Structure formats: structure tokens, C-alpha cells
């Protein structure tokens, strides 16, 4: 299939491993919501609730049970918003890892490889976290297990930034990239590392668990700001490099008539601008929501002070009137 000048899309074929992974994610989520969630009653607060085992005993006739997808108290175990986010996250994983993105990334264009990484790190990971209810995250991490303690330790401000950016540098190192493109197992391991690191970097912002609390809104904005700045260092090497860094792509037929160096520079721009624009948009959303919440919390106090001033004025006028009489 021809597309543009100087290159053609690889022939379509099914990536069985990708289909299996997305099937496991989707089917596992559906089974968890239907079979595990109804055993718990969840009180949601912005997507993170308190989990407690239902103590109502055996299911009674007419009670809301496992087949309905609701807890026995009648509360939904997953909101529509969560289900939609998780579904979109699974679709994004499939889209980033299947034809044509995966095939073009592995055979001819590093810029498409960068798009693949951004889809996994900046779209799929946050959507999956937004779609995970607190009871499911707790069931998977099993606090106070070693896994839970590890995730909680890595999900703090500086550890999360350090883990993600170390993985970012390693997975974009020329020798590592060239090696992974010649080894499917190594390529899979690197993508898995990027995905896990992406879940960690989003935990301080989107954690579904109160035991691993989200940062306060101002700190979330600072956290995302730093995350928008640090990746510009490797992106600069790609954008301003005078020669191709990845030997694997040299001499490959690129789409749209791009040279190997132009393809690499495009990848750097995608890494810098694509991720940066998304993170700055989130910073703006967090700031304005925080400002609105602060304004809402301060409004009763302002009303009370206004009423106090008005009452004092009425009392003063009454006292003046009494003096004149």
C-alpha cells in the first residue's frame, strides 16, 4: 500500500500478541466489574473511594448481586466515566501496538515510533488509571503487600519523575533502540517498561487510591511542569542533531519523502511539542479547577463577613437613632 513519496505502508498482518494483551485487559476488566466489584461497596470521591467488604451475608432474592454489576448496597461498582476511560485506554494500547503504527515504527520511521511511545505514555496510561476504580486498584495491589509498598514509594513526587525519565533516556538511547528493533522480545520488554513507568508517572496526578494520595492541585501543576521540561533534553538531541543517531533507520524508505535525519528531527519535535502541549493543557485545567474550588470554598466566608458588616451597620444605625431620641 503506497502512501506519499518514497515509501509504502507495510502489508497488513495481525499482531497476535497485541490482540491477546488487549483482550486480556478488556475481558479482565469486565470480569472484575461483574464478579469482584459486586462483593464490595464503594463510596467514590473523585474516582477514589473507600473499600469495604459487604457484610450483608448470602444474596437474597431480589437483592442486587453480581450479575447486575452493582454492589449489594445498590451503588455502582464502576461509573460510566470510568468504564469509558478504561475502554478508550485499551483501544489506545491496541492502536499504538498494531498495524500500521507498529509496523511503520519497526521498519522505516522513528517519528512514528515516537508517536507510538506518546500514545502509550501520555494517552493509554492516564486513561487506564482514570478508568480504574479504587476497589479494583486495591484488589490488584493487595495492601500492605510488597507490590503495594513498592508502588506507593515510587508514586511520590521525585521518585516518579526519576523512574520515568531514567526509562525515557534508556529506551531512546541509540544502542538500545537499534538493538530492540532487531529483537522482538527486547522491543516488547522496552515497551512494557515505558508503559509501567508511565503508570508510575501518572499516579501522583491520577491515583485511584486514597492510600496513595494524589498531590495537591498546586503541586500537581508543578509536577506536570517539571515533566514537560525534563524530556526536552533528549528531544533536543533528536531535533538539533546533525546526523542520524539510529543506524537501523539509515537507508530505509521513509514515508512522505523524508530523509533519515528529517525523520529523526520530526521525532524530536513530536516528543517536545506533542507531550508538552498535552501537559500544559492539563496544567491549565488543574489550575482553573483549583481556582474555582478555592473560590467556592471562600464564598461562604465572604458572605458571612458581608452579613456581619451589614449587621454591624444596622446596629450602629440603631444606636445613633436611640441617641437622637
- Residue 5 counted as domain residue: no
**292 vs 132 pLDDT, higher one:** 132
- Determine the Cα–Cα distance for residues 116 and 96; give it in Å rounded to an integer: 5
pLDDT at position 14, please?
82
Domain count across the chain? 1
- Residue 104 counted as domain residue: yes
State the average pLDDT over residues 107-121. 94
- Determine the Cα–Cα distance for residues 124 and 314; give it in Å rounded to an integer: 60
- Residue 7 counted as domain residue: no
pLDDT at position 313, please?
66
**Sorting pLDDT into bands at 50, 70 and 90, what band is 254?**
confident
State the average pLDDT over residues 179-190. 93
- Residue 244 counted as domain residue: yes
- Residue 101 counted as domain residue: yes
**Domain containing residue 257:** 16-55+64-317
pTM of the full structure: 0.80
**Sorting pLDDT into bands at 50, 70 and 90, what band is 6?**
low
Q: Where are the extended beta strands (E) located within 5-68?
A: 40-45, 48-53
| Residue 269 C-beta-side C-alpha neighbours within 13 Å | 6
Chain segment 200-244, per-residue pLDDT in tens: 999 999 999 999 999 999 999 999 999 988 888 888 889 998 899
Q: For residue 45, what is the DSSP state?
A: E
Residue among 120, 130, 136 nearest 29 (CA):
136
- Residue 139 counted as domain residue: yes
Q: DSSP string covering 229-247, please?
A: HTTHHHHHHHHS-SS-S-G
**Sorting pLDDT into bands at 50, 70 and 90, what band is 316?**
low
- Residue 145 counted as domain residue: yes
Residue among 237, 233, 260 nearest 247 (CA):
260
- Residue 199 counted as domain residue: yes
Amino acid at each position: 500500500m503506497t502512501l506519499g513519496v518514497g515509501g509504502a505502508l507495510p502489508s497488513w498482518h495481525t499482531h497476535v500478541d497485541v490482540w491477546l494483551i488487549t483482550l486480556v485487559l478488556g475481558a479482565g476488566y469486565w470480569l472484575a466489574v461483574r464478579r469482584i466489584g459486586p462483593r464490595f461497596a464503594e463510596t467514590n470521591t473523585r474516582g477514589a473511594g473507600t473499600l469495604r467488604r459487604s457484610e450483608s451475608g448470602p444474596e437474597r432474592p431480589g437483592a442486587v448481586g453480581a450479575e447486575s454489576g452493582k454492589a449489594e448496597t445498590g451503588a455502582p461498582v464502576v461509573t460510566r466515566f470510568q468504564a469509558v476511560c478504561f475502554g478508550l485506554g485499551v483501544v489506545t494500547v491496541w492502536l499504538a501496538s498494531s498495524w500500521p503504527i507498529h509496523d511503520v515504527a519497526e521498519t522505516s520511521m522513528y517519528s512514528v515510533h515516537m508517536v507510538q511511545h506518546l500514545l502509550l505514555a501520555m494517552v493509554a496510561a492516564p486513561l487506564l488509571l482514570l478508568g480504574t476504580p479504587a476497589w479494583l486498584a486495591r484488589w490488584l495491589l493487595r495492601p500492605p503487600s510488597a507490590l503495594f509498598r513498592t508502588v506507593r514509594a515510587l508514586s511520590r513526587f521525585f521518585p516518579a519523575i526519576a523512574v520515568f525519565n531514567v526509562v525515557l533516556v534508556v529506551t531512546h538511547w541509540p544502542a538500545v533502540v537499534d538493538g530492540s528493533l532487531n529483537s522482538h522480545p527486547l522491543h516488547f520488554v522496552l515497551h512494557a517498561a515505558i508503559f509501567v513507568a508511565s503508570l508510575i508517572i501518572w499516579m501522583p496526578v491520577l491515583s485511584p487510591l486514597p492510600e496513595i494520595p494524589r498531590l495537591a492541585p498546586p503541586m500537581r501543576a508543578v509536577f506536570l511542569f517539571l515533566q514537560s521540561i525534563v524530556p526536552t533534553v533528549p528531544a533536543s538531541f533528536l531535533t538539533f542533531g546533525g546526523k542520524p543517531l539510529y543506524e537501523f533507520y539509515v537507508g530505509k524508505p521513509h514515508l512522505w519523502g523524508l530523509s533519515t535525519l528529517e525523520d529523526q528531527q520530526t521525532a524530536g519535535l513530536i516528543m517536545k511539542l506533542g507531550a508538552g502541549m498535552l501537559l500544559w493543557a492539563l496544567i491549565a485545567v488543574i489550575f482553573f479547577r483549583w481556582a474555582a474550588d478555592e473560590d467556592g470554598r471562600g464564598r461562604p466566608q465572604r458572605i458571612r463577613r458581608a452579613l456581619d458588616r451589614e449587621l454591624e451597620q444596622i446596629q450602629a444605625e440603631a444606636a445613633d437613632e436611640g441617641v437622637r431620641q
